[in-house]
A and B are shown apart, each in its own frame.
Chain A
Amino acid sequence: MATLIRILGDFDLAEDAVQEAFVIAVERWPRDGLPDNPGAWLVRTARNRAIDRVRRDRRYEDKLRELERLMPGQPDDPTDTSLPDDRLRLFFTCCHPALNPEARVALTLRTLGGLSTPEVARAFLTGEKAMQQRIVRAKRKIRDARIPYQVPADHELPDRLRSLLTVLYLIFNEGYLASESDTVVRRELCDEAIRLGRLLGALMPDESEVRGLLALMLLHHSRRDARVDEDGELVLLAEQDRSLWRRDEIEEGIRLAAKAGASGPYAVQAAIAAEHVADVTDWTHVVALYSRLVELDPSPVVELNRAVAVSMAAGPEAGLELVARLENGRLEDYHLLHATRADLLRRLGRAEEAARAYRRAHELAANPAERALLERRLGELSR
């Protein structure tokens, strides 16, 4: 479909053609039997449908010529029918910063991830109709404002790649935050993001940040069975049953993270995640990595994480000092700041102050699993 979209320059046309091809398949295959190569058959049929539709519209004359020139009896490829370059172009189009972030996510999942519109809606807890409208509006803007199907020029590439990686990480995080009670498609967003990350990695093998993000996602995802206990409650990293971690994914993640070499924000985060799953975490190294991350991508949340690492490397007192500095800033209403403070105070034996901080964190936390964890901690304090 990526190839069709590029040639036609029109999502709707390509999609309609593919849709029609499926309809024809549903009619014909039960009657005539499966073709030798169903995938190639679909593409060929979709292309023919597109040509038919294009013929009806004289404005598409040029595109028609290109379509016929580019795809005359293309050899049948059972695994994939679009050129890799086309999929990379499509990635950049779907994640174009001229589209709003929600639309980027939806388009990427629909076009490159192969989710249907209702699935995307369910995955993002949105109504089907609203999601449909969001996608239609984005596709219209791509066509009308002529957002190009091309890999951006070198001077734009770093910015545009960042936008693309953000989309993948957003998809991943939606899945990561999903709970057991969520729909299956929502929980599978992590797999989808990793699949897209692998695809992008194959298309851009020289980009260390692509590798870094893939490593980061694999390392987080490898702990999925250990993160939540039987009652659906969050289990902190230090208390997780390591036998539940997926060794193969961890090894792949560590290998990729090492190759990415802490060169950009994702690669640094992957290096941190790799330390977390190591048999013995080198906290001094983690502090150094967080310091690097503060340089690359400064944010109070990163500083908070750095404070946690410092408390592990140099003791809770040192961590608490850093947390105190963040307290009156933008993180005042951030539940994790208070939860972190509470943990540090608990470790210092200052139970009363710790309880106050846990309560404040509990007030601010929205996620039920996080609230349950905080309640548990508060209960442990009084014991």
Chain B
Amino acid sequence: MKYMLLIIGDESQYADWSEEDMATQMQAWDEYTKSLVAAGAFVSGEGLQTSTTATTLQVQDGERILTDGPFAETKEQIGGFYVIDCKNLDEAVDWAAKLPSARRGGVTEIRPVMDYGPEYDDPHSVERQGAAS
């Protein structure tokens, strides 16, 4: 079963980080990712640039309305995510609790990923079949 771990935190805290803090953090994330891979639980994961770089789009009657900034203007923003594969929610919670951000007091939302069944499992396989026929 796949779960997405949405990593949520106050972005302003990174502002006062020294280069050394940054390096320590990077290493912690790297180790975390490696432990996921070693356990066979890693599916994907990315860190995101701060929400000041975000653009929000809504198409209304064919018109693209762009807004500067994230969808929700809150102090806490999504800073990154992992998609992990594990047996059940308890295991997902265990992984989430080990996130470097969680250990610093950050918030994590754990969302089960939708399962569309085997025929929709891999979007690439559909593409490839389409290309072959």
Contact = CB atoms under 8 A, between A and B. Distances in A.
Interface of A: 96, 98, 144-148, 150, 152-153, 156
B90 A156 contact: yes
Interface string B19-31: 0000000000000
A147 B112 contact: no
A342 to B, nearest CB: 42
B89 interface: yes
Is chain B's binding surface mostly helix, strand, loop or mixed? Answer: mixed
Given A144-B112, A150-B90, 13 more contacts: A98-B89, A145-B89, A145-B110, A146-B1, A146-B87, A146-B88, A146-B89, A147-B89, A147-B90, A148-B87, A148-B88, A152-B90, A156-B94
Interface in B78-133: 87-90, 93-94, 110, 112
A8 to B, nearest CB: 15
A318 B17 CA distance: 51
B112 A145 contact: yes
A69 to B, nearest CB: 20
A150 B88 CA distance: 10
Contacts of B94: 156
A147 B88 CA distance: 6
Nearest to A142: B89
Contacts of B87: 146, 148
A96 B94 CA distance: 14
A17 B112 CA distance: 27
Contacts of B90: 147-148, 150, 152-153, 156
Is chain A's binding surface mostly helix, strand, loop or mixed? Answer: loop
Shortest 8 CB-CB distances between A and B: which pairs?
Answer: A148-B88, A146-B88, A145-B112, A147-B89, A146-B1, A145-B89, A148-B90, A146-B89
10 contacts: A96-B89, A98-B93, A145-B110, A145-B112, A146-B1, A146-B87, A146-B88, A150-B88, A150-B90, A156-B90
Contacts of A144: 112
Interface in B52-89: 87-89
Contacts of B88: 146-148, 150
A145 B90 CA distance: 10
Contacts of B1: 146
A75 B67 CA distance: 68
Contacts of B93: 98
Contacts of A156: 90, 94
Contacts of B112: 144-146
A146 B112 CA distance: 8
Contacts of B110: 145
Q: Which of B90, B93, B110, B112 has the most CB of A within 10 A?
A: B90
Nearest to A150: B90
A144 B88 CA distance: 10
A96 B88 CA distance: 13
B40 to A, nearest CB: 17
A156 B93 CA distance: 11
A145 B111 CA distance: 8
Contacts of A152: 90
A145 B88 CA distance: 7
B12 to A, nearest CB: 29
A153 B102 CA distance: 20
A144 B112 CA distance: 7
Contacts of A147: 88-90
Nearest to A155: B94
Contacts of A146: 1, 87-89, 112
A92 B1 CA distance: 20
A150 B110 CA distance: 19
Q: Which of A145, A148, A150 has the most CB of B within 10 A?
A: A145
A147 B86 CA distance: 12
Nearest to B111: A145
